[in-house]
Each structure stands twice: as structure tokens, then as C-alpha cells.
Amino acid sequence: MNPTMKRRRLHQLTFALAGIYNIGWGLFSALRPQWLFRFAGMPDANYPEIFACLGMVVGLYGVIYFEVARRPEQGRLLAGVGLVGKVLGPIGLAPLIWTGQWPPATIVLCLTNDLIWWIPFGLYLYDARPATIAANPSR
């Protein structure tokens, strides 16, 4: 626990916004699972339920981000898992775009769900380091 977390209010705001965004995106995608395919000019998905399920999972991350905003001193693990997901998303999408299976317009998924959050989540994880590491960075 880091009782003197730097930029605490900024981190609370960041994770509150991430929570709102994820729940909103999740609800929209669960209710309109063909939106990405239509936006990118792709044929409708044969099984839109899969994308709707993705929306539900992304929405649940929003609940987790609200918990980090509520108690930033204890949110390091939750934020770390969130950041790993935000790194894995583009890694999974890149080969689909590279091989032409999905059009470049689908990168909108990673721009809004992943890439814009890398720096704020990374900054939070840096500031949320345990006090012993923060006090003695050579360890």
C-alpha cells in the first residue's frame, strides 16, 4: 500500500473515466453487436453473440476500474490486469489487419479501447508501486 500516492486525484479521474467508457462501450456492443462490422464495411458476423459477449466482458472491466478509482492505493493488481488486456488487444488484432482478414478500419477497436489508456494506466502503475520500491528504486 502506498499512502502517499502521487497524482491520486488524477488516477481516480482516469479510472472513473475508464469505468464509464468500458461500461458504455460494453452496453453498446452487447446491444448492437454488428456495429464494428458495419463500420468497417465487413459482412455482418455470422455469430453476433460472440461480439455481444465481448461487450459484456469489456463492460465488466468498467466495474473493476471503478474499484481502482474508489481505492487507488489498493488497485495495482486490478489495473495491471487491465493494462495487460489493453496490450493483448492490439497484439491480437495486428495479425488480422496485417494478413488482410480484417480491414484497417477495425483499428478503431484498439485506438479507443486500448492504446489511449496505455500511458494513464502505466503512470498509475508507476505511482502505485509499493512504498519500499518507490523509496529505494535501486532494489
Domain-by-domain residue ranges, the chain?
8-129
Neighbours of 79 (CB within 10 A): 25
Q: What average pLDDT does this structure show over 69-74?
A: 96
pLDDT higher than threshold 70 for residue 87: yes
Within the chain, residue ranges assigned H as helices are 8-31, 35-39, 48-70, 76-98, 108-110, 116-127, 131-135
Q: How confident is the model at residue 130 (pLDDT cuts 50, 70, 90)?
A: confident
- pTM here is 0.87
Lowest mean pLDDT among 3-7, 44-48, 49-53, 73-77: 3-7
